[in-house]
Each structure stands twice: as structure tokens, then as C-alpha cells.
Homo-oligomer: A and B are copies of this chain.
Amino acid sequence: MTGYFSDIPKIQYEGPESDNEFAFRHYNPDEVVMGKRMEDHLRFAVAYWHSFAWPGGDPFGGQTLERPWFGETMEHARAKADAAFDLFEILGAPFFCFHDLDVRPEGESFAKSCANLDAIVDIFGEKMEATGMKLLWGTANMFTHRRWMSGAATNPDPDVFAYAGATLKSCLDATHKLGGANYVMWGGREGYETLLNTDLTREAEQAGRMLLSVVDYKHKIGFDGPILIEPKPQEPSKHQYDYDVATVYGFLKRFGLENEVKVNIEQGHAILAGHSFEHELALAASLGIFGSIDMNRNDYQSGWDTDQFPNNVPEMALAFYEVLKVGGYTTGGTNFDAKIRRQSLDPEDLVLGHVGGMDACARGLKAAAAMLEDGGLESMRDARYAGWEGPEAQKMLSGEYGLEEMAHYVETTGLDPQPKSGRQERLENWVNKFV
């Protein structure tokens, strides 16, 4: 341990009655839920950017957080890695995630930046081997530097496209080398500020081409984790192309990539797009593209991405219900793309933000498992659609019956279907038995 978190012990499970704020009250890694250890269910990951690279700024204020590792040298980068692995150990989270820019100083040239990244990757490799930490996913930051201001893959300047491709290669290589389970793409600048200077058709073709190139390269190097796109509707851009799960699905279908690429769903992004979190999860599952989760919460009254640690257990339960129903994560996991508030200055705050989030997820998971094991919701749902098992219904669904046959059926039987209660309150009460 390097000392930054020196007074804080490794967080242990102490059970719900514990008064120790530096203990888990619900997350018990080895506890078995639905036949699997909680650690293997939840696959928690710590996000390097928010926890180690963010200075606490917002649009109206600058740095509030003071970290000894803030600085633009390799020495700072190494100190940052030391502190990060200290936190990982304190939390007992099995995974982490990073962008290139989080972990290495920008070099004077692309090659220098790559060399910096390589050096850090080596350090990460050693630390991972020493600690057992794993990489949930790597990604490229193609939104912070001014070169990306008008997009990366969707930039009007093909040189930026080339630079993006080179960057993606370097980050895929790093992720592959570290045994990453997935590779994520969030297109913070893949969108526009004004339609007036934008050619939607060209930019979509550029984006499709880049994604095809990424998939090609992934196969070439033998990286077997999925590529994940992370939808977000807007911010920083006025409009972002990967608006939500449904939009990403249409894009993947357009370029024939729906079996190659999945989605990394973030609660805050779902909210900003006008959806509930569980909607986005259920939709991705239904479309066969569910990959992983960026677990945070958005303030419901704020119109921007607040990236807070999750803490509303009933909401967690509904989210994990969708995850469990689709069979749980395969390569994905629960990444805390969440940041402590800029007023949370102390090392303890960084630890406790994660502890609270992990406990909230654990409670949500257990409640979700209990609901699924009870089966009440699923049996009610099956009953609601049971009519579709009938022969007439099957013919309509298969297309054997078209509009004319339906009309004939309605007319000859004098059909006058009566609505049946949707029983929403009843189902909500049922859920409240478990959360």
C-alpha cells in the first residue's frame, strides 16, 4: 500500500447490522445467489477515469480534488496506478476499466503517447498478476483532446479519422494484452453541434466503416471479447449518433454487425434519452445485444449526466432482474461509471462511494434473484399472453392469416374483445415484497 488510503482497511462483509461504514453490509463476495457466487454475478469494476483522473471540475468551476498523482509525467502515472491498485485491493472489486488518456500522459506525438501507454500496460500487467485484478474493458478517450472536437470516426477531416483508427488499434492492443473481457466504444463526439455544418449520411458511413474496421482488427489479433457500444443521446454533443439501444440496434443492422457488437448500458444515459434503465436493459436483452452495464444513477431533476453512485435499491432490483432474466453477464460486468461529488474531497469519500454502490447492487441482486426464484412475475406475464398459444393466434403470428382472414374471423364470430386488467399496482406491490 502506497499510503494514500493508509488508514482505511480492506473492506470486509460484516452483515446488515454492522455500524461500520467501512464494511459491506450486503455485498458478500462468496455468498451464493442462484447457484453463483455474488462476486461472479456482479463482476464489479472500478472506473479509472472518475476515481483517479477527474479533478472535480464542472462547467462553472475548476479543480476541487487534490491528488498527489495529478500531473502530466510518467512518474505521476505510476503513482496513480499505485493508488488505483490500492483502492482495488481495499474494495475487493475484481475488475477495473480505463481509457488510454486516464492512465498515461499525452506524448508529443502519437508514437510517444503509444509508448507511454505501453509502459503503463506493462505496469498494469505486473500489478494484475500480483493481485489477481482483471480488466473488464479498455477503451479509447477520443473526446477530450481538441483534435476530437468535431468527432473521431465522424470527423469531417479524414486525418482525424486516421488518428482515431490508430488510437483504436493501440487501445485494442492494450486491452488484448491485458486480457480484457470486452472493448468499449463511447462516441462522446460522434454527433453534431449543429445540423447546419453536418452531413448525416457521410458521417454515418464513416462511423459504420470504422466499426467494421474495429471488428476486423479484433478478429485479426484474436481478441475474443465483444465490442460494446455505449449509447448516450447527447452531452457533450447536441445530438449523439448512438442515442439509445434502439438506435444502436438500427445502426448495427445497417452495417450487418448485430451479431458482432453489443451494448454497454448506462443508467444515466438511459434517463437522458427518456427511458428507464430497466427499459434499456430489457430491450437490449430482447434484441440479443445486451453486453455490460455502466452502473451509476442520474439525478432525476438534472438535465445532464450526473454520474452518481447508485443508491436506490428498488431501482437496482429492477435492473438486475433484467440481467438475471437474460442469464446474467457473460463477458460483461458492473462498472461503476460513477464519480464522487466534487465536494467529496477526502480519500474516505472515494472509498465510501464505492462501498455504498456495491452494497446497493448487492441488495438489488438478491432482491432480483428472489423475485425470479419466486416466479410470480413471470407466471403472471405468461398468463397474460397465454391466448397466443391458441391455433388461430398462431396462424396470425406466423403470417398464415393475413388481414383478410383476420377480418373474416372478426366478422364471422362477431368478435368483440373485452379488455382485461393490466394489474400494474398489484405487480408493483408484489415487487415491493422483495425490495
User: Once bound together, how far apart are the Cα atoms of A279 and B385, in whole Å?
Assistant: 37
Instruction: List CB contacts (< 8 Å) of A176-215 with chain B.
Output: 188-189, 193-202, 204-206, 209, 212-214
- Nearest-CB residue, chain B, relative to A315: B312
Inter-chain contacts of A109 with B (CB < 8 A): 414, 416
Closest to A200 in B: B286
What is the distance, in angstroms, from A99's C-beta to the closest C-beta of chain B? Answer: 11
Can you list 10 A-B contacts with CB-CB less than 8 angstroms, sorted by A residue number? Answer: A56-B146, A62-B145, A110-B410, A147-B416, A158-B390, A161-B396, A169-B404, A195-B276, A197-B424, A217-B402
Q: Are A407 and B341 in contact (CB under 8 A)?
A: no
The residues of B that contact A57 with a CB separation of less than 8 Å are: 57, 59
Chain B CB within 10 Å, residue with most, of A25, A150, A159, A212: A159
**Identical copies in the complex:** 4
Most chain B beta-carbon neighbours within 10 Å: one of A200, A343, A388: A343
A359 interface hit (Cβ, 8 Å)? yes
Give chain B nearest CB distance to A285 CB in angstroms. 8
A206: chain B residues at CB < 8 Å are 397
- 9 tightest Cβ-Cβ pairs between the two chains A and B: A303-B303, A250-B250, A165-B406, A343-B422, A158-B393, A356-B429, A166-B407, A253-B253, A159-B417
Q: A154-172 CB contact bits vs B (8 Å, 1 = yes)?
A: 0011111111111011101
18 additional A-B residue pairs with CB within 8 Å, beyond A58-B59, A110-B415, A250-B253: A58-B236, A61-B143, A61-B149, A156-B385, A193-B424, A194-B424, A195-B318, A199-B384, A200-B283, A204-B286, A238-B299, A253-B254, A300-B300, A303-B304, A313-B432, A343-B422, A345-B422, A359-B432
Return the chain B residue nearest A158 by Cβ.
B393
Complex contacts, A56 vs chain B, CB 8 Å: 146, 149
Which residue of B has the minimal Cβ distance to A318?
A: B195
